[in-house]
Structure 1
Amino acid sequence: MMKRAPPVSSSLFSKSQNLWLIWKLLIILSIIFLVMTLARIQFYYDTSPQSYSGRVHRRSQLPMIDDEGFEGNPRIAYLFLVRRDLPLDFLWQSFFENADAANYSIYVHSEPGFILDETTTRSSFFFNRQLSNSIKW
C-alpha cells in the first residue's frame, strides 16, 4: 500500500497572487494620486505671462511706504541664535568675506557669559557682535 502525497494546496499560490495584485493596485493608485496632485498644482499656479504682468501691475499700484526716519542704504541683519560656539563658522566666513560690510549687520545671541573671540571661533566677522542682554534658554 502506497500512501498518496497530499494535494498541493492552491491557497499558497492564491495568497502570493493576491499580494501581487494588492501591490499593483497600490502602485497604480499612487501614480493616479500623483498625477492628479500635479495637475491641480499646475492649474492653481497659472504661469502664463499675462497673469504675471497683471500681478506686477497690481503691485505697482500699491502706495509706497515712505519711512521718514530712515536715511542711508538699507541693510540685511543676520541674527545667529547659538548656545555656545557657532557651528559652521568657517562657512559663514567665506559667505561674508566677499560682501560689502556696509550692506549687512551681524548679531549673535548666545548664552550669557559666552564671548566669541579668537579662542571660540575661527571667523573674525563674529567678534564683538554679541547682544549684551542675552538670556539663558
Structure 2
Amino acid sequence: MMVKKEFKLVGLKGSGEFANFGYEVPLLAKQLLSREKEIFHSTETEISLFEPKRDEEHLIGHFYTGVIVNEKIKEVPSGMYYIEANNRYVTTRGDISKVGELHLHLLNWAKEQGYKRDPDSYIIETYHPIGNGAEEVQIYLPIQA
C-alpha cells in the first residue's frame, strides 16, 4: 500500500556497519527506553530511521532509534534529536522475526508497481507489541513523488 505520512520523533543517533544494524539498533533502543521519561508528548510507539544503503561499497551508515511524539518538541533531552520525516511511502506490516523477508517483499512489490525508491530519505520502521511478548514491525520505504 502507498501512503503519505508524517512522523515526529525524539531519539538517539547511532552508526555502524549496515551488516550489524540488527544487533546495534536494539542496543540503542534499550538505551533510549531507559530515558523515555525525559521525552515529553511521547506516544510510546517505538520508531527507527535508517540511512539507505546506496551501493555495495557503502558499508557504514547511521540510524536513529526513538519514540513517536504527537507534537513538535521545543526542548530535546540532552544527547537526543528531534526529527520530522514527511514523505510518500510504500508500507507493509508483519512479524518482527521476519523483518528481512518483509523488506525484500516490499522492495519487490514496489518495483512491480512502478515505484522508485527515494535514496535521500530514511527508511522507517515502527514497532508494535501484540501480546505474549510478540511484536510486529511496520516498514515504510520512501518513494519518489
> TM-score with structure 2 length normalisation?
0.21
Larger radius of gyration: 1
Q: Higher strand proportion, which one?
A: 2
The structure showing larger relative contact order (alpha-carbon pairs under 8 Å, at least 6 residues apart) is: 2
Q: Higher helix proportion, which one?
A: 1
